[in-house]
Amino acid sequence: MSEDFDMDKKERYITDDLDDVETKELMDSLPNYFGGFGDIDRSAYLNWRFYPFQDLGSQFSQMAEAYFEVAILLIDECLKDNWSKKADIWIFPIMFNAIHGVETYLKAFNSLYRIHEELRNTGELQKSEIEDGHNIQQLCKNSISLLKKSNNNESNALINEFKFVQKFIEILYQNTNDMTFTRYPTKNKKQNHQNHFYIGSSKNVVISLDVFRQWVLRVFRILENLTGHIEYQVDTLKDMRSEYLSNIDY
C-alpha cells in the first residue's frame, strides 16, 4: 500500500494527483524520496545491481545496459505515438542515453579485456581501471587496438563486430565531434557558447527513428554480448588462478 500522509488534516496518498496542493504545503508534507515505503515494485534500489568486490568494468557494464534500455524504450514510445511531435525534443535524451551507453560499455570492455589479457598471458591479476574522457571515437579505437594485439581467431571475429560500433560512431562524428549536443543547445564557454550544428541550420536536421532504432539495437547487442563474453572469461580465469594458488599452498 502506498505511503499516506496528512495534509490539511485530510488523508492523502502519495499516488494521488496533488496538483491542487500549494507548493509550500506539499514541500512540508512530502517525505524524503530517499527511503522506500515497503513496496518493492514501486521502489528503485540503487545498490542491488552493484557489488563492491566487482571489477569496475562489470559495474560499468551494468549501468551501460540501463542507458541503452531507456533509449530504446523512448524510441519505441515515439514510434507508437508521435502525434504531438514529441520526438523532436525527446530525440535529445534518446541520443544522450544511446551515446552514453556506448561510452560506458566501451570503458567496461576495455577495462575487462586488459584484465583478461594479463591473466591469460601472465596469470597475474591486474587492477581494474577505467579510462578517463568521453571521446567514444577514441575509446572504440582503443577497443580494436586491444583486440589486434591479441591476434587470434576470436579477437579477429570480435573486431568485425566492433567495426559496426565504429561505423555508428563515425556517423555521429560526421555531424559533430562535440557530444554535448544532446545535453545543451550551445557549446561550452571556451567555444563562446556557439550554437550546436542543428540550431540555425539552413536545412532540416533529421533523424529517422526507424533507422536509428536498428542501429541502436545492434550496437547494444554487440556491446552487451562482447562485454559479457569477456566478463565471463575473466571470471573463469580468476577461478582457475584461485584454484591454482590454493593447490600451491597445499
> Within 13 Å and on the Cβ side, how many CA atoms surround 20?
5
Residue range(s) defining the domain that contains residue 130: 49-249
Do 98 and 23 lie in one domain? The reply is: no
Do 192 and 231 lie in one domain? The reply is: yes
Over 80: is that where the pLDDT of 249 sits?
no
Three-state SS sequence of 204-225: CCCCCHHHHHHHHHHHHHHHHH
Give the separation between CA 139 and CA 102, rounded to whole angstroms: 9
Contact status, residue 165 vs residue 103, Cβ threshold 8 Å: no
Do 88 and 127 lie in one domain? The reply is: yes
For 197-247, write each residue's pLDDT tens digit. Answer: 899 888 999 999 999 999 999 999 999 999 999 999 999 998 888 887 888
Give the separation between CA 250 and CA 235, rounded to whole angstroms: 23
Do 111 and 1 lie in one domain? The reply is: no
For 6-59, write each residue's pLDDT tens digit. Answer: 555 567 777 888 999 999 999 998 888 898 777 888 889 999 999 888 889 999
- DSSP run (H or E) holding 174: helix 153-175
Contact status, residue 26 vs residue 17, Cβ threshold 8 Å: no
Do 40 and 54 lie in one domain? The reply is: no
Do 141 and 21 lie in one domain? The reply is: no
Do 68 and 9 lie in one domain? The reply is: no
Instruction: Please give the model's pTM, rounded to 2 decimal places.
Output: 0.90
Do 3 and 101 lie in one domain? The reply is: no
Do 13 and 80 lie in one domain? The reply is: no
How many structural domains does the chain have?
2
pLDDT at 240: 87
> Read out DSSP for 108-137?
HHHHHHHHHHHHHHH---PPP----S--HH
Do 30 and 58 lie in one domain? The reply is: no
Do 155 and 38 lie in one domain? The reply is: no
Do 66 and 190 lie in one domain? The reply is: yes
Percent of the chain past pLDDT 70, that is, above it, reads 94
Radius of gyration of the chain, Cα coordinates, nearest whole angstrom = 23
